[in-house]
Amino acid sequence: MRAKFLLTAIGAAIAVVISGCSAPSPTATGGPVRVVASTNVYGDIAKQVGGDRVRVDSIIDNPAQDPHSFEAGAQVQLAISKANLVIENGGGYDDFVGTLLKGANNADATVLNATTISGYHQGGSFNEHLWYDFPTVKRVVAKLVSTLSSLDPAGAETFAANGTTLDKQLGVLEAGEASLKSSNQGAGVAITEPVPLYLLEASGLSNKTPAAFSEAIEQGTDVSPVVLRQTLALFTTHAVKLLAYNEQTSSAETEQVRTAAKRAGVAVVSFTETLPSGTSYLRWMTGNLAALKAALQ
């Protein structure tokens, strides 16, 4: 599995002289809990739970940034060094977080790993894009409530109330998936990468893409001509009702696939790995479900 982010600037970042390697506890200072999230997806979720009692920095927060070519700089290392709580996806997606923590010498930070929290087995074809899996997000929210309450006991009531609200809103999203599943069970879909696969499968959709195609795109390797032909045939034969397209990574092969879908009159639904600018996690996922529903009609 290819690591999703490249830490090509880590040497320069670690060379930065940082005063006070780890942040003082919120209890000691009366200040907000300092949270660093690997992406703005987890950053927004942490903010929804923590409210004004947390200060959140997201390492990846630019929707135009290709996550596969991210470079960390000194500011990222500084934020990590002051963090009380660090949230990572895990599963090979954002391994740079562990490297940054070691470089910052911040052994006091509490680390939440969404993959560990999910309880999923990581072997075989494990899909690390867990923020598209609402049951896992619910578990992350519950863990955030308990962890923030431990770091800031005075805010425990606030964290619990916010967590309950967020859990209910995630339940609404799950109901949206169930509604789609009731009318589209087994409908075929194609993907460029498995980014939204949890959402698609929970909505009753069946991924018909040759595994070798999406694996090659995810790994950044060439797609064989045979596999490309097999993938393009999904559209000419109308074996799928839509193409789920990752907007943040593209290649000549994914462009060919998108063009083939459009020519065949197959709907193309765009997905991203990080939170679009000016929205929240809940609005983002609500929009994703609405786009799926429109494409399947």
Write down the residue that tokens 């949206």 correspond to. Answer: 176
Query: Is residue 114 within 8 Å of residue 90, measured between CB atoms?
Result: yes
Number of helices followed by number of strands (H, E) in the chain:
13, 8
What type of residue sits at position 284? W
CATH topology of domain 185-296: Rossmann fold (3.40.50)
Residues contacting 6, CB < 8 A, separation 6+? 68, 69, 70, 71, 96
Q: What pLDDT, in 10s, does the model give residues 273-283?
A: 999 999 999 99
Tell me the pLDDT tens digit for each residue of 90-120: 999 998 898 899 889 898 999 999 999 999 9
What's the rounded Cα separation, in Å, for the pair 64 and 52?
27
The residues near 8 (Cβ < 8 Å, ≥ 6 apart) are 71
Tokens 């929210």 belong to 141
pTM: 0.91
CATH fold label, 10-173:
Rossmann fold (3.40.50)
Give residue 26's pLDDT: 72
- Can 10-173 and 185-296 be said to share one CATH topology? yes
What is the residue extent of each domain of the chain?
10-173, 185-296
